[in-house]
């Protein structure tokens, strides 16, 4: 369109911001009156909530002086719909222009500093990857938005190159290596984001990097583009490509200083021939003093990890471990034993054999394997997926292996899995239990009955007049998907019995309002509201944050 949409917006246009409640981004908008909406400490720590693609993110903006004539209200994220209208060449109807003018007039009243803050919140909620369009979108709405977006270097610090690997795989001979380099548009976007980030710390994500991406003059220019920015890279992700390109790039990067690099993610396509030799020959990063976090796709990467000062790595994820390889497991045990700074560990191994000692780890997440194969004297939080839960054996108490364990997280639960009495007897001294439900396509109809946990507490010990989990004070249950009613009166009766008998249960953490039939939801009968109110008289009922984040999620190209 020839007309600039920014020219359509009248500064005097009025709109009722409180009526704009579609979408889920909590933004700052001008109030209709000048009365302070917040005061004192409230204005120093404003909680903003973002709901995007099923993920709920909580962020606290601190030390932000919010003017008294502004209040927190819900606004739509209008940018995508505005761009859709702009790209529609058939836009002729006056009502479409009027609708667009109304939307923009609302946002045009926001001062630059508030709009900039909104942009940063939107950026913070996005994942890196081809679906990440926030910065580009907001820079194509109005001249004012573009100027603000270009001036905000942080919006451009999540950079990536990727390929449509599924389409490529369908069109090539599976016996031949992938030859398609990154598209010109992909490299142009990558270069644009890097240039606009200037000297800000950047994330560099390279998905499906192959030999042809680094060949010839174009490959040399692409390589030089990367090397010119590794000095201010804080996260490096090279995954899914071949066993020639990733090591080649890492050798070049190793000759450069990476003073800001705090996390790294490395992996290759396991269909690549001779990948193990190439991975084991990865160079050391001698000048990466801030590197604390590593995501590595197997034990073959441990020589690279061991080349770093052992006091550096505090957070580690290891995938694809072959439990049938004794030499591999032996090397794994030795490496973990000497990593004196390691506090957070994620592992996936089908069989561990001889016990693995992790003396400094405080949080352990096991997605595959037998948790009894580990010994962690300082461990306070243990997270298990369904497979490790199913490996628990009745009568085996793991207190001696995890003497400091306080918080147990059970992931991927479906109805009847696991047997809570077995779990309770394996970990009898926990103080907090979090149950994360499985709402995968095969379990969409699953409803989790929270009473299963209380039944285990009351009857799972196997001894009369005694309870399992005698120290449990907090129970948290997460649910994503189908609404499930909470039987508040039944819970009231059960918890009353426990508390009367001296059990310390005192806090119940549930998903966001509505997921469990909590009050203030129109669909919930008033009787249930009264039952919830009664339940709150004997136990604290809080809202469980469902941001689904481990330390690694924000560093990944794709969300978990």
Domain that holds residue 12: 5-125
Asked whether 289 and 259 are in contact (CB, 8 A), the reply is: yes
> In percent, how much of the chain has pLDDT > 90?
29
Segment 150-154 shows an average pLDDT of 93
Q: Which has more confidence, 51 or 511?
A: 511
The answer to whether residue 490 sits within a structural domain is yes
Query: Directed axis angle between helix 79-86 and helix 94-108, to 10°?
Result: 140
Q: Look at residues 72, 104, 125 and tell me which one is the last residue of a structural domain.
A: 125
Asked whether 21 and 83 are in contact (CB, 8 A), the reply is: no
CA distance 428 to 559: 33
Q: Look at residues 75, 90, 125 and tell me which one is the last residue of a structural domain.
A: 125
CA 102 to chain centre: 35
The answer to whether residue 295 sits within a structural domain is no
Segment 130-157 shows an average pLDDT of 84
Please determine, for residue 108, whether its predicted confidence score (pLDDT) is greater than 80.
no
| Chain position carrying tokens 């001008």 | 30
The answer to whether residue 21 sits within a structural domain is yes
The answer to whether residue 265 sits within a structural domain is no
The answer to whether residue 401 sits within a structural domain is yes
CA quadruple 65, 71, 74, 77: dihedral sign: negative
Q: Give the number of domains in the chain.
A: 2
418 preceded by a cis bond (ω within 30 of 0): yes
393 burial (CB, 10 Å; 0-12 / 13-18 / 19+) is exposed
> With DSSP H G I counted as helix, E B as strand and the rest as coil, what are the percentages for the chain, rounded to 5?
35, 20, 45
Q: Which has more confidence, 214 or 131?
A: 214
Segment 485-497 shows an average pLDDT of 79
Please determine, for residue 338, whether its predicted confidence score (pLDDT) is greater than 80.
yes
Q: Which has more confidence, 253 or 52?
A: 253
- pLDDT at position 427 is 93
- pLDDT at position 104 is 58
- pLDDT at position 545 is 66
The lowest-confidence range among 127-136, 337-346, 349-358, 491-500 is 127-136
CA distance 556 to 560: 8
Segment 307-325 shows an average pLDDT of 80
Segment 467-490 shows an average pLDDT of 73
The answer to whether residue 189 sits within a structural domain is no
Q: Which region, left, alpha or beta, applies to residue 469 given φ > 0 means left and ψ of -120 to 50 means alpha?
A: left
508 contact partners, CB below 8 Å, separation of at least 6:
474, 475, 476, 491, 535, 539, 540, 541, 542
- pLDDT at position 497 is 87
- pLDDT at position 311 is 74
The answer to whether residue 498 sits within a structural domain is yes
Q: What is the pTM of this model?
A: 0.76
The answer to whether residue 245 sits within a structural domain is no
Segment 527-543 shows an average pLDDT of 83
Give the model confidence (pLDDT) of 3-23 as tens digits: 333 333 222 222 222 222 223
- pLDDT at position 543 is 79
Segment 111-129 shows an average pLDDT of 74
Give the model confidence (pLDDT) of 50-88 as tens digits: 333 333 223 322 223 333 223 222 233 444 444 454 445
Q: Look at residues 125, 155, 190 and tell me which one is the last residue of a structural domain.
A: 125
């Amino acid at each position: 369109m020839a007309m600039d949409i920014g020219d359509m917006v009248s500064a005097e246009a009025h709109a009722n911001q409180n009526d704009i409640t579609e979408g889920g981004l909590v933004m700052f908008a001008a109030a209709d009156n000048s009365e302070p909406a917040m005061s004192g400490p409230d204005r120093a720590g404003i909680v903003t909530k973002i709901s995007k693609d099923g993920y709920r993110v909580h962020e606290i903006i601190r030390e932000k002086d919010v003017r008294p004539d502004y209040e927190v209200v819900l606004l739509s994220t209008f940018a995508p719909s505005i761009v859709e209208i702009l790209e529609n060449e058939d836009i002729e109807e006056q009502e479409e222009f009027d609708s667009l003018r109304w939307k923009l007039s609302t946002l045009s009243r926001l001062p630059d500093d508030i709009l900039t803050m909104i942009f940063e919140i939107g950026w913070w909620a996005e994942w890196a990857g081809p679906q990440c369009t926030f910065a580009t979108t907001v820079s194509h709405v109005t001249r004012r938005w573009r100027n603000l977006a270009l001036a905000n270097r942080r919006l451009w610090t999540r950079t990536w190159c990727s390929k449509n690997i599924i389409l490529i795989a369908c069109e090539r001979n599976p016996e031949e290596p992938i030859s398609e380099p990154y598209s010109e548009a992909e490299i142009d976007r990558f270069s644009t984001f890097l240039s606009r980030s200037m000297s800000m710390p950047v994330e560099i994500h390279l998905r499906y990097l192959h030999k042809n991406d680094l060949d010839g003059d174009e490959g040399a220019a692409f390589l030089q583009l990367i090397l010119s920015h590794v000095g201010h890279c804080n996260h490096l992700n090279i995954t899914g490509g071949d066993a020639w390109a990733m090591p080649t790039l890492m050798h070049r990067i190793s000759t450069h200083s990476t003073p800001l690099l705090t996390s790294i993610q490395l992996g290759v396509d396991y269909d690549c021939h001779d990948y193990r030799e190439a991975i084991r020959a990865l160079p050391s990063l001698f000048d990466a003093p801030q590197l604390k976090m590593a995501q590595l796709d197997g034990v073959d990467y441990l020589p690279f990890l061991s080349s770093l000062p052992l006091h550096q790595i505090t957070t580690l994820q290891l995938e694809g471990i072959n439990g049938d390889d004794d030499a591999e497991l032996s090397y794994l045990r030795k490496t973990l034993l000497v990593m004196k700074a390691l506090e957070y560990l994620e592992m996936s191994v089908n069989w561990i054999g001889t016990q693995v000692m992790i003396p400094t780890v405080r949080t352990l997440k096991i997605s595959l394997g037998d948790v009894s194969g580990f010994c962690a004297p300082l461990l306070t939080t243990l997270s298990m997926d369904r497979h490790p839960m199913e490996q628990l054996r009745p009568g085996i108490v793991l207190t001696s292996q995890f003497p400091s364990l306080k918080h147990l997280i059970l992931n991927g639960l479906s109805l009847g899995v696991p047997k809570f009495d077995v779990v309770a007897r394996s970990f009898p001294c926990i103080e907090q239990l979090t149950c994360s439900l499985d709402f995968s396509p095969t379990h969409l109809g699953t409803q989790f009955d929270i009473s299963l946990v209380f039944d285990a507490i009351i009857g799972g010990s196997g001894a009369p007049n005694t309870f399992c989990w005698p120290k449990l004070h907090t129970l948290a249950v997460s649910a994503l998907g189908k609404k499930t009613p909470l039987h508040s009166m039944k819970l009231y009766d059960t918890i009353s019995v426990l508390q009367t008998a001296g059990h310390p249960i005192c806090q119940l953490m549930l998903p966001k309002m509505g997921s469990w039939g909590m009050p203030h939801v129109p669909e919930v009968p008033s009787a249930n509201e009264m039952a919830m109110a009664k339940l709150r008289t004997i136990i604290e009922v809080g809202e469980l944050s469902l941001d689904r984040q481990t330390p690694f999620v924000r560093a990944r190209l794709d969300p978990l």
